[in-house]
Amino acid sequence: MTYNSKRRAVSICAAVAVLVAACGANSVNSISADPRNVTWDLNVDAQKVLGPESCEKCHAAETQTWKQTPHFETLHTLHRKKEAQAIAAKLGIASFKTDSNCIQCHYTMQQHGPALEVVSGVSCESCHGPAKDWINVHNNYGDSGITRASETNEHRRQRLSESIAAGMRNPINVYLVAQSCYRCHTVPDEKLVNVGGHSEGSLDFELVSWSQGMVRHNFVRTDGKANIESSPERLRLMFVAGMIADLEFSLRATAAATEKTTFGLTAAKRASRAAERIKSAQSKLEQPLLDEILKVYASVSLKLNNRAPITEVADQVHRLGLKFAATVRGEDLSAIEQFIPPKSKWK
Ligand code: HEC
Ligand code: HEC
Ligand code: HEC
Ligand code: HEC
């Protein structure tokens, strides 16, 4: 699929260079002190997947919450659904969990020697990145005896930066996790939609309302005792970051379109709708990065078989989205407070 391209990693790296002066997998120590300035790879590398059991011993409450969601359940329910069987029949898929593209979005795969095995539905690592290289980094406060409370700010920054450099989609930069959602929820697969009859993605996906209901698992700050709501400032940032990610991934889907039917038309419409939303927010916010995003968007034509130019624009939106989440504060977004979905709308 297009979003797994090597090219992307390079261009993200170039963008990060703008932000942090240095980039590259081996330059952990030269990464900026601000861990929100980041790069990451969109692949969920099965070689590096550990599985949700490896998180549970320290994140029991998060795991319990996740187990109540369709992300967990799809492992057990998908292959039993009539609609899923119909899609598989149209695509000639014999087994959902081995030889299908369903695994990209419905399952988490782990590499066992030459074999790929399904270990879970949509799991922690689908959203936070495969954990092999960061699991022992993200929780390391330094010397024993140091706790979350006594860790220095400098050490915290270093720890977060290193975890991200090792592939963690740490919610400290909210665009990192926003991308995870839209990667799947835009369903950027033409054949799956046009031939298989799969839905064209979650057209009403909006980051605040879709992440703060059943999906929310904010237990870290209370040591697992309470699932706290994110602050209004953070929700504003999420709201705008979600719009930007919607634009990025609708553009990626549009870039993959070769036929003037359901898939291509829906993707292009979705991209143009996302741009309209950003425009409308920008009329209140006047944020230079949103202007840049709209300019980049306006420079490309959303026509069929226009993969390279549209992908290039999506890459630029991507860089700007990461930068937006790294540099803009929710306090500066109060002009759109009235548009943030209220609790009654949280899924
Ligand atoms: C040995 C215990 C331990 C294990 C295992 C563990 N974590 Fe954590 N995790 C922590 C601690 C402690 C924190 C809080 C760090 C802090 O204070 O910022 C944390 C924080 C996080 C955060 C919040 C971001 C951050 O850095 O503060 C995410 C996301 C996360 N863990 C995901 C995972 C996932 C996914 C797994 C399994 C692949 C996992 N963790 C396994 C201990 C663990
Ligand atoms: C690019 C990501 C992606 C791929 C690949 C994908 N799906 Fe999905 N699928 C989704 C998302 C996201 C949803 C939830 C859409 C919604 O309702 O908002 C979904 C929903 C579904 C549903 C409806 C679930 C329900 O609750 O009724 C079925 C059935 C389904 N997918 C079957 C399949 C099959 C079969 C395959 C493989 C041939 C597949 N999907 C591949 C992303 C994907
Ligand atoms: C690896 C792919 C993937 C990722 C990443 C992902 N989702 Fe999903 N999501 C799905 C699929 C597939 C379904 C439908 C599962 C089913 O019904 O079988 C789904 C369902 C949901 C649902 C339930 C929808 C309903 O109407 O019941 C919510 C809410 C949701 N996702 C929110 C999110 C959010 C928020 C994020 C990012 C923080 C996210 N998802 C990331 C694949 C993904
Ligand atoms: C559907 C995508 C998705 C899945 C699956 C997911 N997370 Fe998260 N996670 C997020 C998002 C988005 C946030 C940030 C939410 C916010 O700020 O309100 C987050 C935040 C966190 C945090 C920090 C919460 C805090 O208190 O600040 C931890 C820890 C965490 N996740 C661990 C896990 C673990 C462990 C699993 C698996 C059991 C998991 N996540 C599964 C998307 C996901």
Q: What is the pLDDT of residues 65-113, one digit of tens each?
A: 999 999 999 999 999 999 999 999 999 998 888 867 898 899 999 998 8
Phi/psi for 202 (5° steps) reads: -90, 95
Average pLDDT over residues 330-334: 98
CA distance 38 to 306: 29
Ligand lying closest to the C-alpha of residue 207:
3
Q: Three-state SS for 123?
A: coil
Whether the predicted pLDDT of 326 surpasses 90: yes
Residue 291, CA atoms < 13 Å, CB-side half-sphere: 6
Neighbours of 39 (CB within 10 A): 24
Indicate left, alpha or beta for 286 from its phi (over 0: left) and psi (-120 to 50: alpha).
left
Structural contact between residues 177 and 245, judged by C-beta atoms closer than 8 angstroms: no
Q: In the prediction, which pLDDT does 35 show?
A: 60
Read off the DSSP letter of residue 342: P
The pTM of the full predicted model, rounded to 2 decimals, is: 0.93
132 or 12, which is more confident: 132
Task: Tell me, using a 6 A CB cutoff, whether residue 50 lines ligand 1.
Answer: yes
Answer whether residue 281 shows pLDDT above 50. yes
207-261: pLDDT as tens digits: 999 999 999 999 999 999 999 999 999 999 999 999 999 999 999 999 999 999 9
- For residues 119-130, give the mean pLDDT: 97
- pLDDT number for residue 27: 31
Decide: 22 and 31 in contact? Cβ < 8 Å: yes
Spacing, Cα 297 to ligand 1 middle (Å): 36
Q: Are 133 and 9 within 8 A, CB to CB?
A: no
- What's the pLDDT tens digit per position in 55-78? 999 999 999 999 999 999 999 999
pLDDT value at position 114? 86
- What is the whole-number distance in angstroms between the Cα of residue 227 and the centre of ligand 2? 28
CA distance 245 to 179: 6
Residues 6+ apart with CB under 8 A from 234: 174, 330
Among protein residues, the one with the nearest Cα to ligand 2's atom 1 is 187
pLDDT of 36 reads: 62
Q: Residue 146 — pLDDT band, cuts 50, 70, 90?
A: very high
Domain extent listing, the chain: 2-40+132-345, 41-131
pLDDT value at residue 303: 94
DSSP E strand boundaries for the chain: 108-112, 115-120
Average pLDDT of the chain is: 89
- Cα distance between residue 184 and residue 95, in whole Å: 20
| Residue whose CA is at the smallest distance from ligand 1 atom 12 | 139
pLDDT value at residue 3: 38
Amino acid (one-letter) located at 21 = A
- What the block records as the tokens of 337 is 């407070």
pLDDT at 125 over 90: yes
CA 112 / ligand 3 centre spacing (Å): 26
Instruction: Map residue 110 onto helix, strand or coil.
Output: strand
Q: Is 135 in the pocket of ligand 1 (CB under 6 A)?
A: yes
Q: Which residues line ligand 3 (CB under 6 A)?
A: 70-71, 74, 77-78, 105-106, 122, 126-127, 177, 180-181, 183-185, 210-211, 214-215, 347
Query: What spacing in Å lies between the alpha carbon of 69 and ligand 1's midpoint?
Result: 20
| Residue-wise DSSP of 229-297 | PPPHHHHHHHHHHHHHHHHHHHHHHHHT--STTHHHHHHHHHHHHHHHHHHHHHHHH--HHHHHHHHHH
Nearest CA to ligand 3 atom 41: 181
Q: Do the beta carbons of residue 245 and residue 204 sit within 8 Å?
A: no
272: pLDDT strictly greater than 60 = yes
Q: Catalogue the E-assigned strands of 39-147.
A: 108-112, 115-120
